[in-house]
Amino acid sequence: MQTIALIGNPNCGKTTLFNTLTGTTAYVGNWPGVTVEKKEGVVNGHRILDLPGIYSLSPYSPEEKLSRRYILDEQPDLIIDVIDATNLERSLYLTTQLAELGRPLLLALNMEDLLEKEGIRIDGKRLSQMTGCPVVQISASKGTGISSLLEEIERSLREKKLPMQPLFSNFIERYITTIITDDYLHLIPKGRQMRWAAIKLLEADELFLSSMPAPPQAFQTYIEQARKDLTEHYDDDVQAIIIDQRYKVAEHIAKDCQIKTKKEKQFNFDNLATSKFGAIPLFIAIMAAVFYLSIGLVGGYTTGWLESFFAFASVHIQTFADAMQVHPLLSGILVDGIIAGVGAVLTFVPQLFVLFLLLSLLEDCGYMARIAFIMDRLMRSMGLSGKSIIPLVIGTGCSVPAIMSSRTIEHQKQRELTVIVTPFIPCGAKMPVFALMLTYFFPGKWFIAPLIYLLGIAAVVITGLLARALDKHKETNAFILELPRYQIPAAKNIWLQTKDRTLGFIEKAGTIILLSSVIIYLLSSYSFTLQAVDAEQSMLAIMGRLISPLFAPLGFGFWQASVALLTGIAAKESIVSTLSVTIGTSSLSAFFTADTALAYMTFILLSSPCIAAISAMFKELGSKRKLLFAVLWQTGFAYVAALLIRSATLLFL
């Protein structure tokens, strides 16, 4: 089995191509940085890997390090360089580096369907001559050119033809040539090419130097002199000189291979979507529309229907069970435990489906990347990386992948801060709790839902500003976020994302929620002496009363609410099922009022996330002490925020 590596710039369509080639359903997003780790699949009996998107092979970011280490150490039999055909020159910069790695290289010119619209024509034959690589024009999203690509993959794997090496100016080439001829270069690790090693020596690439023994004194002196000569000649440092030389090669090839025709001037939506004053109101308006459609409109109809359905099913199954003399313990577990708990959660499936669908549409059309762009300055001003916005946006779906995606942030403090604040963004699992409370305490006031998002963002901002004020070093870093073009969302992507998220939710209902409902039912029906008792004397009530006084200032100091919060640690949806089993959703108003419901929602929104997310936080923070701090901060923050919200509600309403 031969190995193929897919590599290319962020957002050039690698993952879409990977999915098309392998028939898998890896997550695709219309923004850079979706692939944080490499993914593996099989195409025509060959192993194929989707590597993270990178602009260069310089070992500065984790993605660049991962991709570079993989290619150098694993030596794939073929590298497919996925090139965004509408950004040829920039993409060729990476190609000039890949060509030096001594592996067969195939150029896949993706997004060919957009070339005509962009007024660009590319001479593939000329590009192939100039790079020494086979070139195939494809559209991964439309599926065109894939058969030619598969044929070319087979040919390239058979012939194993190496690409041409990009040549720099004579002044640099003479140093490279001299270095290559030195015996010291024979010590380079297996799989590294002489020319590549010579360039890394000139660049003083730390990762490469650490893999080499100390050079002989004479050779070291020569290298240092070469660096000095180059710096004086070009009036720049060596790394910048090599970057410049590569861009010149890329520019030369791009100029020779593509013809640009004049484009008609079109209305640019970004003038509004990324403007200083219009962007945030537009974002709020769009999110409000999303919640109106999902929770307000769809939820308004379907929640009632599904509640009636499950109530109908419960009554009839209970009647039937009584008639058949089923033991109350068994019928109780089935009806008051499983059907009440799982049913309460499943009630929200239709509105969550619409919510996931709309969020996927926003993401795939390219709008979410604009949010990242407008939030970048705000993020950096409060000590977070511009890249922090990516986990925060992914966090609207689930905190676990969101926390994992913070790995792309280079600075440790910024990364850790991002991990701590990401769970403040409401994930899909918290939505049923909010929808439940909104349905019973704020009917028709769907605008409260987007305010929950704003509250989450406010918590991120406050935590960031506090961390910034306490940080003596105040790290800042630039974030290059390329704005992807707006596109008509691909139906396949939208469907896959929406289906995966919705099925994930349903599966949770059938697993964690089902188990917790059974446990909650048993604990709320029996005493510690295992006697069937009223819920108020049950084990659950006794345990809940131990912690419920803590929540008395927030207005929900009764044991049912406290126990629901505890089961929420397993999965946030469990809060709904627990409330349903212990109180019954229709009796909620006997326990909560509008102000306590708001405080409850606030506490759930901001307190520490579910166990899966806590585990992800532990892995990313790498220390129990830091994790403890994070969980205490989140829960403490949630407590204070809930107290303030309740006080404000009592004051103004």
Partner 1 sequence: MLTAIISNTIVALVILALITFAIKTLRKHSKEEGCASCGTKKNSACKGCKFADSCH
Binding site for partner 1 (CB under 8 A): 36-38, 40, 62, 66, 321, 324-327, 330-331, 333-334, 338, 400-401, 404, 407, 507, 510-512, 514-515, 518, 612-613, 615-616, 618-620, 622
The encoded tokens of residue 240 equal 């910048």
CB of 154 to partner 1, least distance (A): 25
For residues 181 and 67, what is the distance between their CA atoms, to the nearest angstrom?
28
Specify the residue, 59 or 401, whose C-beta has the smaller distance to partner 1: 401
For residues 481 and 364, what is the distance between their CA atoms, to the nearest angstrom?
16
| Chain centroid, CA 522 distance in Å | 38
Give the bridge partners for 5, in sequence order. 49, 79
CB of 54 to partner 1, least distance (A): 14
Q: 280, 481, 476: which is closest to 384 by C-alpha?
A: 476
Specify the residue, 278 or 622, whose C-beta has the smaller distance to partner 1: 622
CB of 135 to partner 1, least distance (A): 30
CB of 515 to partner 1, least distance (A): 5
**Residue with tokens 């991120």, as numbered in its chain:** 460
Specify the residue, 242 or 344, whose C-beta has the smaller distance to partner 1: 344
Specify the residue, 141 or 318, whose C-beta has the smaller distance to partner 1: 318
CB of 207 to partner 1, least distance (A): 15
Calculate ∠ Cα 38-40-41, nearest 5°: 150
Q: Are 168 and 177 in contact (CB under 8 A)?
A: no
b/e 470-490 (16+ beta carbons within 10 angstroms → b): eeeeeeeeebebbbbbbeebb
**Residue with tokens 């079109």, as numbered in its chain:** 266
CB of 333 to partner 1, least distance (A): 6
**Residue with tokens 């090839």, as numbered in its chain:** 253
**Residue with tokens 């909010």, as numbered in its chain:** 434
For residues 212 and 172, what is the distance between their CA atoms, to the nearest angstrom?
22
CB of 617 to partner 1, least distance (A): 11
| Chain centroid, CA 38 distance in Å | 14
CB of 513 to partner 1, least distance (A): 9
Residue 149, SS3? Answer: helix
CB of 571 to partner 1, least distance (A): 11
Specify the residue, 334 or 598, whose C-beta has the smaller distance to partner 1: 334
Q: 632, 635, 636, 561: which is closest to 596 by C-alpha?
A: 561
Gyration radius from the chain CA atoms: 29
Residue 626, SS3? Answer: helix
Specify the residue, 351 or 567, whose C-beta has the smaller distance to partner 1: 567
